Amino acid sequence: MTDELRRTALHATHQGLGARLVPFAGYEMPVQYSSIKEEHEAVRERAGLFDVSHMGQIQLRGKRALAAAEELVTCEVSTLAIGQARYGLLLDESGGCIDDVMLTRVGEDEVFFCVNASNVDAAHGWIREHAGASVKVENRSRSTSLLALQGPAARGILDGLCSADTPLPRRFRVANCEIAGLPVLASGTGYTGSPGYELYVENKDAVALWEALVEAGQPMGLRPAGLGARDTLRLEAALPLYGHELDRDTTPFEAGLDRFVKPLDRGFIGAAALSARADEPDPKRLVGFEMVGRGIARADYEILIEGEPVGHVTSGAPSPTLGKSIGLGYVPRSKSAAGQRLDVRIRTKDVEAVVVETPFLP
């Protein structure tokens, strides 16, 4: 017996656009409207509009909200200004990743975590369990819609719609803006590697905001874009996807996310385990690679070095911007330097690849 799939406030809009809808994290979501490549290119060259309302928002309020968040996440919280956002990881006691999150401070004693759609319940449960009784923890996911407007033309499109009294925030900042006459929490963040904004609105305003953006963006070549393009875009930017590059058996250091982890002596959940694991002889390390031989690497394909299996691919696809096939995967740290030759086992053939610096795009 399958549960019915949930729908975002924009479901009818997607249907009207002829989107191909697929199940994702319990929601029916658009994977593409016209073509993944076209939508991907639109974001890189002009702008794309994504419905990512399936993602979760967990809000913490109270005098101890910031202190609680500080203990839960790997990034620095005490130094977050009001209106500032930071990327970090929620770890369990073994140092493994429960989720990767964007933490935003929206008030003196108020923060919210933007969490992956597939992890909303797990993240909510974990945060509620560890935040302490005096902190109000609320799962705002179902009442919040989220649109992502990404690409070089995003700013120009929003400028035309944003009230002069409520200027748009800069990168990694948020602001309460009036956009197309609607109250929007605008965030200078994104998951594509192109500049842009994520726009939080009440469900009841989602369609109106979408339509206003589409109308204003039309002359600038704005296209609706689905989860297919979202994945190829973030892959080019070498951004991790939970369930692929990150999971409970992976530490932030193994995933190359060292710069999002504050000093281990701060005592956040998982810090002690990370310390203890510091002298592991040759832990796995996430690398980016390009295919040299003919073939496309995909998640779970084996990686070999000199005939020996040493790891596996976590994500892979043809890169529309680069015109070659790229991927992310785990290999022993001793074999993770740029220039290292690898083989990817693609069905019955071992196809040559090479480790490259990430992100893949300049």
Partner 1 sequence: MADYQIPDDLLYTQEDEWVRHEGDAILIGVTDFAQSQLGDIVFVELPEVGASTEAGAPFGTIESVKAVSDLFAPLTGEVLEVNEALEEQPELVNEACYGDGWLIKLRATDGDEFDGLLDADAYRASVSDRDQ
The residue count of the chain comes to 362
The reply to whether 294 sits near partner 1 by the rule CB under 8 A is yes
Candidates 6, 128, 277, 298: give the one binding partner 1 (CB under 8 A): 298
CA distance linking residue 261 with residue 270, whole number of Å: 11
- Pick 190 or 228: Cβ nearer partner 1: 228
d(CA 299, CA 284) in angstroms, rounded, equals: 16
- Binding to partner 1 by residue 155, rule CB under 8 A? no
Order across the sheet with 110-115: list the strands.
84-91, 97-107, 110-115, 56-61, 136-139
Q: Which stretch binds partner 1 (CB under 8 A): 2-10, 52-60, 291-299, 307-315?
A: 291-299
> Whole-number minimum distance, CB 228 to partner 1, in Å?
6
Query: By CB under 8 A, is residue 351 in contact with partner 1?
Result: no
> Contact between 228 and partner 1 (CB under 8 A)?
yes
Nearer to partner 1, 34 or 340 (CB): 34
Nearer Cβ to partner 1 (36/77): 36
36 sits near partner 1 (criterion: CB under 8 A): yes
CB of 294 to partner 1, least distance (A): 7
Nearer to partner 1, 32 or 74 (CB): 32
Q: Are 351 and 343 in contact (CB under 8 A)?
A: yes
Identify whether 320 is preceded by a cis peptide bond (ω within 30 of 0): no
Q: Decide: 140 and 94 in contact? Cβ < 8 Å.
A: no
Restricting to residues 229-288, name those near partner 1 by CB under 8 A: 231-232
Using CB under 8 A as the binding criterion, the count of chain residues that bind partner 1 stands at 15
Q: How far is the CB of 36 from partner 1 (least distance, A)?
A: 5
Q: Which of 5, 25, 35, 203 binds partner 1 (CB under 8 A)?
A: 35
Whose Cβ is closer to partner 1: residue 129's or residue 300's? Answer: 300
Residue with smaller CB distance to partner 1, 4 or 265: 4
Choose the stretch contacting partner 1; rule: CB under 8 A; options: 55-63, 77-85, 100-108, 292-300.
Answer: 292-300
> How many other C-beta atoms can be found within 10 angstroms of the C-beta atom of residue 348?
5
Asked if 9 contacts 182 with a C-beta cutoff of 8 angstroms, the reply is: no
What track of x and - describes contact with partner 1 for positions 304 through 343 (by CB under 8 A)? Answer: -------------xx-------------------------
151 binds partner 1 (CB under 8 A): no
37 binds partner 1 (CB under 8 A): yes
- Output b/e per residue, 110-120; b: 16+ Cβ within 10 A: bbbbbbbbbbb
The residue type found at 228 is G
Place of tokens 């429960």: 98
- Positions touching partner 1 (CB under 8 A) are 31-32, 35-37, 228, 231-232, 294-296, 298, 317-318, 347
